[in-house]
């Protein structure tokens, strides 16, 4: 007797789906989609966070790492200067009121050091006076954010903007 039914190849086989807990075991996980549009794939963007407040630094580090950034944190201006040379970050998030060397002095030194002059710098500070903002601008800061006036999502978006990681409209 001759079998008249066509043979099915593996790609012709119906996909078996299930509902419930065992579905994840049978269905391969979808690749995670990154919210970051990386214009230079293969290279993680490096951030240097200069913040002496432990809890605030922890929040920023967790969120920025979740966004796909490599991040190093230092607690004072003196360590910030050394880390900027050694770590070579793409962007520095710089507090102003810190132990040892103030953020304004760090900014001044970074802008006048050939190896660091072009690093993007966002000052993230409690100082909200126009005179402080103007001083930072005159010294060459790329952005100035007042901690009490922004949420973490705003900070992340500014970081992405300055690194060219947000799609242009």
Mind listing the pLDDT tens digit for each residue in 114-132? 999 999 999 999 999 999 9
pTM of the model: 0.74
Beta bridge partners of 49: 73, 93
Give the pLDDT of residue 50. 98
With cut-offs at 50, 70 and 90, classify the pLDDT of residue 42.
low
Cβ-based neighbour number of residue 6 at 10 Å: 7
b/e burial code for range 111-125 (CB count within 10 A of at least 16 → b): eeeeebeebbbbbbb
| CB-based contacts of 81, cutoff 8 Å, min separation 6 | 101, 106, 109, 110
Cα–Cα distance between 24 and 168 in angstroms, integer?
A: 36
Structural domains of the chain ordered from first start:
46-162 (3.40.50.2300)
- What tens digit of pLDDT does each residue of 66-86 get? 999 999 999 999 999 999 999
Query: From the centroid of its chain, how far is CA 89?
Result: 11
């Amino acid at each position: 007797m001759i079998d008249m039914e066509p043979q099915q190849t593996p790609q012709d086989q119906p996909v078996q789906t299930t509902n419930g807990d065992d579905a994840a075991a049978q269905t391969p996980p979808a690749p995670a989609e990154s919210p970051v549009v990386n214009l230079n794939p293969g290279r993680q963007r490096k951030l240097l966070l200069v913040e002496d407040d432990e809890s605030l630094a922890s929040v920023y580090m967790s969120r920025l790492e979740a966004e796909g950034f490599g991040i190093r944190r230092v607690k004072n201006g003196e360590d910030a200067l050394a880390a900027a040379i050694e770590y070579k970050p793409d962007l520095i998030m710089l507090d102003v009121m810190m132990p040892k060397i103030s953020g304004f002095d760090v900014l001044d030194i970074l802008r006048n050091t050939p190896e660091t002059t072009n690093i993007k710098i966002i000052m993230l500070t409690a100082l909200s006076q126009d005179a402080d903002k103007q001083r930072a601008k005159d010294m060459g800061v790329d952005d100035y954010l007042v901690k009490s006036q922004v949420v973490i999502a705003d900070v992340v978006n500014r970081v992405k903007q300055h690194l060219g990681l947000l799609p242009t409209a």
